[in-house]
Structure 1
Amino acid sequence: MVGIDRLLSKSLDTVIRENLGARTVQKIENRLVEKYGVTLTESIEQFQKLDSVLREFFGSSADGLENKFLKNVCEIKLVNGEKQIYIENSSLTKIILESFGDDDKKKILGVINGDALIISEIIEKCDIAQTSGYRKINSLIDDGLLVPSGYVSTADGKKV
């Protein structure tokens, strides 16, 4: 679930900092580095590590905190027997809307739709400029809307 973790991590990072305060967050960050060698944002992407440290500080109350943090970002609701995700966080909403509002990014997301492709294939199928295509694909990866699934070595030794 690397993609969804990355997509939610930036928003959750902000929510955690707002809810816990600077001193508590600093103590948690120090413990994460000491115990696992990761930052707060990295620990959100590897949630077991953050959960472990939150339990050290808050005990069984960590469950309530984690639920509160997540509800400030998104919520899953059952409507007419179907699960729907409601995005509560404005920065996460902005990332998604900007990605689907950009014609090239929208093409990229449409072409991939569950298929693993190398970047050059994506750019070719979308018929977009190579330079901006690479930039937009990397942006989608950074935002968590695309997930890299591995690398292929070319004849000249480059990894794509």
Structure 2
Amino acid sequence: MMSGLDTLIAKSLDSTIKENLGKKTLQKVEQRLFEKYGINLTQSIEDFTKLDSVLREFFGEGAEGLEKQFLENIVTLEKESKTQNPNWVAIEDSSLAKLILESFGDEDKKNILNSVLDEPRIISEILEISQVPQTSGYRKINSLIDNGMLIVQGHVTTHDGKKVNKYKSIFDNVTINIEKNKVIVKVLLAKESIEKSSVIQVVQCR
């Protein structure tokens, strides 16, 4: 199961890899992924170590530079400093920035995300705190889960023994600025979002 961050960047990462590899190389990589693991490129993003293994067969140590380039086309991790938390990420991919902007531009989705910034909650609590109507609320919560903005973090057991998932936002904070007529979106990721991301762990933590 993909982490929230990997789910969030998966579509953009899939597109940028296809654009950068070129048709012939892409076919060879996809063929090797299927031979070795029985998966396609999109599925390999779920466990980035498998894609890394195949890219190394083709490019050797050059795979590291390629993977870094792929990731930096989508997000840039801010360097740690005395004033800068290392979990701040600048969104470089326009479609991903648009998705985040649209989610925070939707009052209901913004309230849903804000309700789980500090602690994970079950869906009924999220709906109650965010004061979102139940029917549209379930739909919007599922949309945020599908896009990777809400992640499962723990569960509660009901009186009849059923386990109910608790959800938390992958963001601790979001800033939106306009610089030289360009909208700059930066997100402060929850620490566990970075730790559970197979993409970040492979590319950044060598």
TM bin, normalised by shorter chain, reads 0.7 to 0.9
Q: CA deviation at 1:47?
A: 1.3
Structure 1: gaps spanning 5 or more residues? none
Structure with bigger strand share is 2
The range that moved more, 113-122 or 92-101, is 113-122
Which aligned pairs between 1:1-160 and structure 2 lie closer than 5 A? 2-78=3-79, 81-82=83-84, 83=86, 84-149=88-153, 154=158, 155=160
The count of residues paired between Structure 1 and Structure 2 equals: 160
The range that moved more, 53-62 or 115-124, is 115-124
Q: Deviations over 1:35-89 (max 9, x none)?
A: 2233322322311111111111111110010011111111123477414422110
Q: TM-score under structure 1 normalisation?
A: 0.87
Structure 1: distance between partners of 2:37 and 2:155:
27
Structure 2: distance between partners of 1:134 and 1:75:
32
Structure 1: distance between partners of 2:35 and 2:153:
30
> Which amino acid letter does the alignment assign opposite residue 62 of structure 1?
A
> Which amino acid letter does the alignment assign opposite residue 136 of structure 2?
S
Residue number in structure 1 paired with 2:191: none
> Which amino acid letter does the alignment assign opposite residue 133 of structure 2?
A
Q: CA deviation at 1:151?
A: 5.3
Residue number in structure 1 paired with 2:171: none
> Which amino acid letter does the alignment assign opposite residue 102 of structure 1?
D
Residue number in structure 1 paired with 2:176: none
Q: Percent identity?
A: 56
Q: CA deviation at 1:131?
A: 1.7
Q: CA deviation at 1:137?
A: 0.9
Could you say which structure has the greater relative contact order, defined with CA pairs below 8 angstroms and 6 or more residues apart? 2
Structure 2: gaps spanning 5 or more residues? 166-206
Change beyond 3 A, Cα 1:129–1:37: farther
After superposition, the CA RMSD in angstroms is: 2.3
Structure 2: distance between partners of 1:127 and 1:153:
24
Structure with bigger helix share is 1
Q: TM-score under structure 2 normalisation?
A: 0.69
The range that moved more, 17-26 or 6-15, is 17-26
Structure 1: distance between partners of 2:102 and 2:38:
33
Change beyond 3 A, Cα 1:93–1:37: same
Q: CA deviation at 1:26?
A: 2.4
